[in-house]
Amino acid sequence: MKRRTFLATVGAGSIALAGCTGGDGGGGETTSTAGGETTTSETTSGGTTATTAASNPLSGTLRVATYQPFIDAPSVSPGKWIKREFEKAYPDATLKYLTPDSELNYFIQRRKAGVTIDADVYVGMNADDLVRIDQKLGDTPLFDPIEQGTLANESHVRDELRFDPKRRAVPFDTGYISLVYDQTKVDDPKTFDALTTAPYKGKLIAQNAQSSDTGQAFMLWTVKTLGENDYLDYWGQLLDNDVRIVDSWSSAYNAYSNGEAPIVVSYSTDQVYAHQYDEPLEKHQIGFLNDQGYANPEGMARFTTTDVPELATAFIDWMLSKQAQSKIPILNVSFPATDWADLPESFSKYAFEPPEIVTYTYDELSGNLDSWVNQWAERIASN
Q: Are residues 65 and 159 in the same domain?
A: yes
Q: Are residues 83 and 103 in the same domain?
A: yes
Closest CA to 175 of 248, 126, 103: 126
In a domain, 44, yes or no: no
How many helices (H) and strands (E) are present in the chain, helices listed first?
13, 15
Q: At what angle do helices 322-332 and 79-89 cross, to 10 degrees?
A: 170
Q: Return per-residue pLDDT of the chain as tens, 383 residues.
A: 554 443 333 233 332 222 222 333 333 333 343 333 333 343 433 344 444 444 799 999 999 999 988 998 656 799 999 999 999 999 999 999 999 988 999 999 999 999 999 999 999 999 999 999 999 999 999 999 999 999 999 999 999 999 999 999 999 999 999 999 999 999 999 999 999 999 999 999 999 999 888 999 999 999 999 999 999 999 999 999 999 999 988 899 999 999 999 999 999 999 998 998 899 999 999 999 999 999 999 999 999 999 999 999 999 999 999 999 999 999 998 999 999 999 998 898 999 999 999 999 999 999 999 999 999 999 998 77
Neighbours of 15 (CB within 10 A): 21
Length of the chain: 383
In a domain, 270, yes or no: yes
In a domain, 35, yes or no: no
Q: Are residues 329 and 360 in the same domain?
A: no
pLDDT at position 49:
42
Q: What does the DSSP 8-state code read for residue 2?
A: G
Any idea what the CATH number is for the domain that residue 373 is in? 3.40.190.10
Q: Are residues 84 and 161 in the same domain?
A: yes
Q: Are residues 259 and 119 in the same domain?
A: no
Q: Are residues 232 and 249 in the same domain?
A: yes
In a domain, 247, yes or no: yes
Give the total number of structural domains in the chain.
2
Q: What is the CA radius of gyration of the chain?
A: 21
Q: What is the pTM for the complete model shown? A: 0.80
In a domain, 54, yes or no: no
pLDDT at position 357:
94
pLDDT at position 349:
94
Q: Are residues 247 and 289 in the same domain?
A: yes
In a domain, 24, yes or no: no
In a domain, 37, yes or no: no
Q: Are residues 96 and 168 in the same domain?
A: yes
Q: Are residues 325 and 194 in the same domain?
A: no
Closest CA to 93 of 79, 106, 109, 82: 82
- CA distance linking residue 190 with residue 54, whole number of Å: 58
In a domain, 115, yes or no: yes
Q: Are residues 69 and 107 in the same domain?
A: yes
74 burial level (CB within 10 Å; 0-12, 13-18, 19+): exposed
What backbone phi and psi angles, to 5 degrees, belong to 93?
-115, 150
Query: Structural domain of residue 311, as residue ranges?
Result: 2-6+60-175+297-349
Q: Are residues 121 and 205 in the same domain?
A: no
Instruction: Quote helix, strand, coil % in the chain, to nearest 5.
Output: 40, 20, 40
